[in-house]
């Protein structure tokens, strides 16, 4: 079952495929799907509020990314409208998701991509929105370099450095470079996102990200081949 089907779980009560972790529960217990869904909806709503004003474009972007089945729209709207009144408490939502998916960083990056989609809905990402995104990335455990790569994939950083795209240092050896490329490709391939249930808006972004990853790897290999005696 895809990650984004959690909102369906919220409505139907289907079993959760992920075991809970950390502070959320004790041995043999599972986190309630409603708690998970509320954390996800709440974080998206507070992203929309990050610059102080929730616009129609941001609401539309939220609905594109955080999809609920038709009979769940009323509940989704109720939770969203309550959470969007203030950004206070966003860190609690983020920490719950971070604990839940600490072993699944690709899923947490899907969440970041979804938040970027909301932030960009008005055509520009404000400093307040970028600060919100940085805080969420920190709570999720992403490094400064990883968040720079995410910003780059959304057009906020010059995409000229292929090492940043592949999330490696310039002095990485060829074998580690290849492993990094395969890791990034596996995580960002559109088929992988489809398997996680990511909506079409973010799948289109994955195509662009995959092209950038392939180009970065080819660029580094060509540069190294040219430098070889």
| Domain 159-229: CATH architecture, name and number where available | Orthogonal Bundle (1.10)
**pLDDT at res. 20:** 40
| Domain 1-142: CATH architecture, name and number where available | Orthogonal Bundle (1.10)
Where exactly does CATH 1.10.3680 map onto the chain? 1-142
**pLDDT at res. 2:** 39
| Angle, helix 90-100 to helix 105-119, in steps of 10 degrees | 150
Q: Which of 193, 172, 184 is nearest to 111 (CA)?
A: 193
Where exactly does CATH 1.10.287.110 map onto the chain? 159-229
Token pair of 192, please? 């992988």
**pLDDT at res. 138:** 97
pTM (2 d.p.): 0.72
Is the distance from CB of 67 to CB of 4 less than 8 angstroms?
yes
**pLDDT at res. 202:** 67
Q: Which residues of the chain have pLDDT under 50?
A: 1-32
CA gap 159, 206 in Å, rounded: 15
**pLDDT at res. 41:** 85
**pLDDT at res. 182:** 92
């Amino acid at each position: 079952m895809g990650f984004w089907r959690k909102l369906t779980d919220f409505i139907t009560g289907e079993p959760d495929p992920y075991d809970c972790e950390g502070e959320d529960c004790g041995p043999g217990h599972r986190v309630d799907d409603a708690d998970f869904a509320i954390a996800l909806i709440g974080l998206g709503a507070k992203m929309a509020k990050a610059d102080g004003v929730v616009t129609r474009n941001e609401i539309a972007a939220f609905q594109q990314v955080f999809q609920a089945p038709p009979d769940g729209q009323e509940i989704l709207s109720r939770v969203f409208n309550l959470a969007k009144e203030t950004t206070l408490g966003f860190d609690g939502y983020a920490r719950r998701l971070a604990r839940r998916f600490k072993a699944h960083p690709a899923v947490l990056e899907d969440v970041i991509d979804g938040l970027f989609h909301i932030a960009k809905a008005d055509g520009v990402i404000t400093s307040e929105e970028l600060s919100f995104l940085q805080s969420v990335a920190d709570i999720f455990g992403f490094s400064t370099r990883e968040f720079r790569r995410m910003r780059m994939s959304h057009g906020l950083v010059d995409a000229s450095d292929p090492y940043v795209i592949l999330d490696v240092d310039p002095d990485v050896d060829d074998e580690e470079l290849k492993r990094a490329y395969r890791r990034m490709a596996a995580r960002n391939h559109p088929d992988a996102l489809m398997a996680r249930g990511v909506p079409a808006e973010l799948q289109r972004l994955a195509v662009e990200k995959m092209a950038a990853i392939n180009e970065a790897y080819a660029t580094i290999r060509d540069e190294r081949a040219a430098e070889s005696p």
